[in-house]
Amino acid sequence: MNDTQISEDEQDILQEIMNIAFGQAAAELAEIINIFVVLSVPYIRMIEAVDLPGYIQTEFSEFGNISIVEQNFWGDFKGTALLIFPAGSGKELVSLLDDSPAAEFQYSDILEKETLMEVGNILIGACVGKVAELLKDMVTYSPPKVIVEDHPDITMSKTLFDPANSAIILKTVFCFNERNVHGFLFLITSHKSVVWLKTALADFMKQYE
């Protein structure tokens, strides 16, 4: 195994870290907008960067239209976070963030985008932030961007994802129980993070030896 591949043991550690991080993110979201998030066991996979767009499109082929909140993050841990919902989920979530009385409530596409952006910002920020904290890193973020797509064509940053290299996908499926909305959070880290990540994971586990 070379230094840009992660072993099964390292994947297990990363899975547990992602589990802790998404738990933290869900708790923060629950506190802010009073929603219960049903969590699932995270999934980790190493993939060739060139296959990333196809992989993501395959994952969501059954949904048809989807809404994506995209946010890049930079630190030693660097990559792209994608929060993906079936299109229309934003409508379900709007009322959670809107304090106006029902009579004054007016739905709009802009409001839906803002809601998705807010939910995305909280979940991605808390999740990526916790991964970074556990691995003793500090990250900065690009502003979140909402894309509502008929046919998602995910264009990965060529700076972060050199098609000649590999990337690690960390996927968590979640469900907002009260609104019957489910979604997916992907953290996709670039090959540039892998060497650092291997050391950081080993350091993380040293405290448990």
Binding site for another protein (CB under 8 A): 9, 12-13, 15-16, 19-24, 26-27, 30-31, 36-37, 39-41, 134, 205, 208-209
In angstroms, what is the minimal distance from the CB of 13 to another protein?
Answer: 5
Helix-strand-coil split of the chain, %, nearest 5: 45, 25, 30
Residue (16 or 48) nearer to another protein, CB: 16
List CB contacts of 123: < 8 A, sequence separation 6 or more. Answer: 22, 25, 26, 29, 83, 185
Residue (24 or 165) nearer to another protein, CB: 24
Residue (25 or 49) nearer to another protein, CB: 25
DSSP three-state, residue 72? strand
Question: Rounded distance, CA 151 to CA 1, Å?
Answer: 37
In angstroms, what is the minimal distance from the CB of 9 to another protein?
Answer: 8
Residue (68 or 185) nearer to another protein, CB: 185
State the SS3 of 148-193. EECCCCCCCCCCCCCCCCEEEEEEEEEEEHHHCEEEEEEEEECHHH
In angstroms, what is the minimal distance from the CB of 5 to another protein?
Answer: 18
Residue (43 or 63) nearer to another protein, CB: 43
In angstroms, what is the minimal distance from the CB of 123 to another protein?
Answer: 13
Question: Rounded distance, CA 150 to CA 33, Å?
Answer: 28
DSSP three-state, residue 117? helix
Question: Rounded distance, CA 184 to CA 43, Å?
Answer: 11
In angstroms, what is the minimal distance from the CB of 134 to another protein?
Answer: 7
Taking each helix axis from N to C end, the angle separating 191-206 and 8-33, rounded to the nearest 10 degrees, works out to 90
In angstroms, what is the minimal distance from the CB of 22 to another protein?
Answer: 7
Residue (35 or 139) nearer to another protein, CB: 35
